[in-house]
């Protein structure tokens, strides 16, 4: 547990050896600990590992790295939504009020509508861009996502944190689009950070994972109790896979963000594209805020084509880029967000830049735009 808040050195989280644990000739790669239970003689008092729903050495290894990166204690969950529902279910009681972004991740809203509203929690949904003006005084929890996805509107985390603190509301930040390497939500004042590690943190589109982190030990004890009792636990194999993915997170993000910047600039100049959003574009309305609170500009670029015909032609003509949902993987993806959410503009394409060379990405988008 962290005694006091600290700014982590996250330049390469993998290379923080837990030296006291090193044993001569121990394997460098520990491998997953496949076990449902542990040797336990006599009294269980003081035991850490006694049953597989409560703890596992593979989770612990992953959590140590995530704790280092977040600058607050981290707990892993089997998906981003398992992490998110743990925070909601263990904190919100009947009579409490939750503020949610209307334009944030859709499953957070559906979960709240289906399982919190009927338990007497009042939900208020507002567009992210209005959060700065809203009065927080009646809220018990404020849920933030910045950059909002897929609109890529930014919200000033530090300013919202100050307002939330004054209103005695908990501030939760969904940091999936940025990862802890791109944005340090706890440093910026959030009480809790959640992240879907299914995206860039694992980064290989081959398993789901999520985590919760906070600097409040009581909060983390509550979240841990939820995990142990609800049974929303991670498989040892998946823990090991994400730990392997993390070794290259910094490298992958550097390549992805560099290409995303080039793609956004290319889209901004293209006659077939009516508008583009990318926090790294100097012309983007949120660029100054991005420079203030983000360490990277991200791997997502959103742009608009004229209409459904343009969208069909563009997506149909892409060669290297896969048409798929999700983002943050080594492969580039593109999709029309309207197919999930009819409040979105028909022409809105979310492009998730992968680890291919920027020449390949730009060439694929350019040739697909030729057909529009
Ligand atoms: C994908 C995503 C989630 C949910 O994560 P899963 O791992 O799919 O459960 C939550 N928030 C955001 C912003 C996401 O993109």
Q: What is the pLDDT along the chain (372 residues), one digit of tens a residue?
A: 334 434 444 444 444 445 455 677 877 787 899 999 999 999 999 999 999 999 999 999 999 999 999 999 999 999 999 999 999 999 999 999 999 999 999 999 999 999 999 999 999 999 999 999 999 999 999 999 999 988 899 999 999 999 999 999 999 999 999 999 999 999 999 999 999 999 999 999 999 999 999 999 999 999 999 999 999 999 999 999 999 999 999 999 999 999 999 999 999 999 999 999 999 999 999 999 999 999 999 999 999 999 999 999 999 999 999 999 999 999 999 999 999 988 899 999 999 999 999 999 999 999 999 999
Helix locations, 31-170, DSSP H:
57-70, 80-91, 106-111, 157-166
C-beta neighbour count of 37 within 10 angstroms: 10
Residues in the chain: 372
Ligand 1 pocket: which of 198, 208, 235 to mutate (most atoms within 8 A of CB): 198
Q: Are 190 and 341 in contact (CB under 8 A)?
A: no
On the question of a cis peptide bond just before residue 147, with omega within 30 degrees of 0, the verdict is yes
pLDDT of amino acid 341: 87
pLDDT at 34: 95
pLDDT of residue 270: 97
Half-sphere CA count of 340, side-chain side, radius 13 A: 16
* CB atoms inside a 10 Å sphere around CB 291: 13
Residues 6+ apart with CB under 8 A from 371: 313, 314, 316, 317
Ligand 1 atom closest to Cα of residue 84: 10
pLDDT of residue 30: 77
- Helix (H/G/I), strand (E/B), else coil: 122: strand
For ligand 1, atom 15, name the residue with the nearest CA: 176
| Nearest atom, ligand 1, residue 199 CA | 1
What token pair was written down for 168? 């005695």
The pLDDT of residue 22: 64
* Residue list, ligand 1 pocket, CB within 6 Å: 79-81, 105, 107, 145, 149, 174, 176-177, 196, 198-199, 208, 210
Neighbours of 308 (CB within 10 A): 12
Distance (Å, whole) CA 82 – CA 88: 10
Assess contact for 273 and 305: CB atoms under 8 A. yes
- 103 CA from centroid of ligand 1 (Å): 14
Q: Tokens 């944190």 appear where?
A: 161
Residue 352 CA to ligand 1 center (angstroms) comes to 14
- Ligand 1, atom 11, lies closest to the CA of 105
What is the Cα–Cα distance from 371 to 315, expressed in whole angstroms?
10
Which helix (H) or strand (E) covers residue 291, if one does? helix 287-293
| H/E stretch holding 261 | helix 249-268
Could you identify the residue written with the tokens 């009681």? 93
Rg from Cα positions in the chain: 21
Residue with CA at minimum distance from ligand 1 atom 2: 196
């Amino acid at each position: 547990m962290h005694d006091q808040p600290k700014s982590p050195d996250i330049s390469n989280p993998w290379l923080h050896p837990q030296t006291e644990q090193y044993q001569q000739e121990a394997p460098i790669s520990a491998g997953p600990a496949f076990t449902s239970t542990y040797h336990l003689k006599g009294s269980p008092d003081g035991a850490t590992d006694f049953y597989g729903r409560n703890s596992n050495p593979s989770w612990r290894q992953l959590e140590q790295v995530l704790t280092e990166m977040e600058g607050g204690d981290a707990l892993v969950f089997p998906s981003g939504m398992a992490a998110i529902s743990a925070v909601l279910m263990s904190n919100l009681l009947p009579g409490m009020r939750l503020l949610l972004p209307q334009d944030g991740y859709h499953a957070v809203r559906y979960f709240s509508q289906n399982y919190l509203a009927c338990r007497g929690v009042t939900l208020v949904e507002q567009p992210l861009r209005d959060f700065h003006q809203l009065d927080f005084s009646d809220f018990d929890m404020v849920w933030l996502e910045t950059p909002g996805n897929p609109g890529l509107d930014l919200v000033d985390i530090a300013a919202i944190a100050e307002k939330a603190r004054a209103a005695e509301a908990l501030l939760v930040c969904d940091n999936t689009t940025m990862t802890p390497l791109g944005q340090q939500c706890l440093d910026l004042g959030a009480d809790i950070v959640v992240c879907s590690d299914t995206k860039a943190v694992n980064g290989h589109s081959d398993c789901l994972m999520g985590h919760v982190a906070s600097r409040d030990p009581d909060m983390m004890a509550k979240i841990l109790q939820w995990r142990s009792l609800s049974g929303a636990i991670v498989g040892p194999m998946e823990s090991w896979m994400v730990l392997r993915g993390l070794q290259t997170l910094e490298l992958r993000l550097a390549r992805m963000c560099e290409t995303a910047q080039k793609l956004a600039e290319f889209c901004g100049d293209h006659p077939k594209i009516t508008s583009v959003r990318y926090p790294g574009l100097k012309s983007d309305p949120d660029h100054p805020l991005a420079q203030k609170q983000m360490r990277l500009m991200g791997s997502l670029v959103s742009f608009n084509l004229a209409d459904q015909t343009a969208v069909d032609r563009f997506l149909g003509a892409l060669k290297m880029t896969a048409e798929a949902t999700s983002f943050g993987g080594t492969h580039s993806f593109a999709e029309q967000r309207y197919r999930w959410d009819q409040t979105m503009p028909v022409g809105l394409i979310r492009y998730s830049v992968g680890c291919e060379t920027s020449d390949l990405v730009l060439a694929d988008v350019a040739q697909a735009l030729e057909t529009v």
